Structure 1
């Protein structure tokens, strides 16, 4: 699909066409199987900890949205996958340097061409989003969707860092 067709599919909410840009979910889940995964949230409290080396030792490091990394001792330095629900500016994308981008938001109109055309791009199915929303009784966060996805994969371990459920606010937003 070229950029013009992408823009048309996005504007017209043609989910089937957009899903053709994505690696299949089964491939993503297979990439997680048997691996230790560090999932990094954006809680401000993480900056006060020293988890960086443990994060970087994981087989796979997944960060969320703008992926603030104020210091390697607290946040580590690796990002293998980046899970987005927001558009990411080019300088942030270059700073983070993920090998794979996952678009988790149901808001397809926020999805940009550079993200959708990136190698290994994954588009989280709307059906999965809706099923989790219905189970939770509320719209799931990007972190909740990642946890749900990871737990369906057969991974060896999942360790959460930077998740305190907004007790310390966020390093990347106003919440």
Structure 2
């Protein structure tokens, strides 16, 4: 598909042509199998901790949306995958330099040709977004969509950095929890239950007993 065809499909909300731009989910699952994965969220609290070296030691480092990295000491330097649910400018893509881009949002109109035509591009199926939305009773965050996707693979370990479910707000904006369409309390319970039943998943920096 060329750029003109992509723009037409996006404008007319033609899912099938857009889906053909994506690698199959099985390709992601194969790459994840047996690997140690660091998923880096955008909580402001991460900027107060020294987790950068640990993040960079992971086999695969995945960041979210505009992927703020204020210091290597706190956030590390590597980005293997970048999971998106918002538009991103060329300057941010050039800064982060991911080798794979994933579009997780149901809002296809925000998907750019640069992202969709990138090597290894992955498009999250609408049905999977809807299923998670139904389970939560609210639109899922990019982070939770990635946690669910990663946990469904045969990875060896998933370590969550920078996830406090908006307790410290986000490094990428100033909005409060009541100003965004997500249910962070429900997402926190979802992840806590996942950690309880899946010993591969670890929330780094979580309070004891929390």
DSSP-derived class of the 2:133 partner: helix
Q: Distance in 1 between matches of 2:125 and 2:76?
A: 30
Runs of 4+ residues over 3 Å off in structure 1 = none
> How far does residue 135 in structure 1 lie from its aligned partner after superposition?
1.2
Which is further off, 23-32 or 98-107?
Answer: 23-32
Provide the aligned C-alpha RMSD in A: 0.6
When the two structures are superposed, what TM-score results if normalisation uses the length of structure 1?
0.99
Q: Distance in 2 between matches of 1:118 and 1:47?
A: 30
Structure 2: where are the runs of 5+ without partners?
176-210
Q: Distance in 1 between matches of 2:31 and 2:23?
A: 11
DSSP-derived class of the 2:53 partner: helix
DSSP-derived class of the 1:61 partner: strand
2:116 corresponds in structure 1 to 116
> How far does residue 138 in structure 1 lie from its aligned partner after superposition?
1.2
When the two structures are superposed, what TM-score results if normalisation uses the length of structure 2?
0.82
Q: Distance in 2 between matches of 1:68 and 1:174?
A: 14
Q: Distance in 2 between matches of 1:80 and 1:174?
A: 27
- Bigger RCO (CA 8 Å, 6+ sep): 1
Structure 1: where are the runs of 5+ without partners?
none
1:104 corresponds in structure 2 to 104
> How far does residue 174 in structure 1 lie from its aligned partner after superposition?
2.1
In the TM superposition, 1:1-175 aligns within 5 A as 1-175=1-175
Q: Deviations over 1:146-165 (max 9, x none)?
A: 00000111110000000001
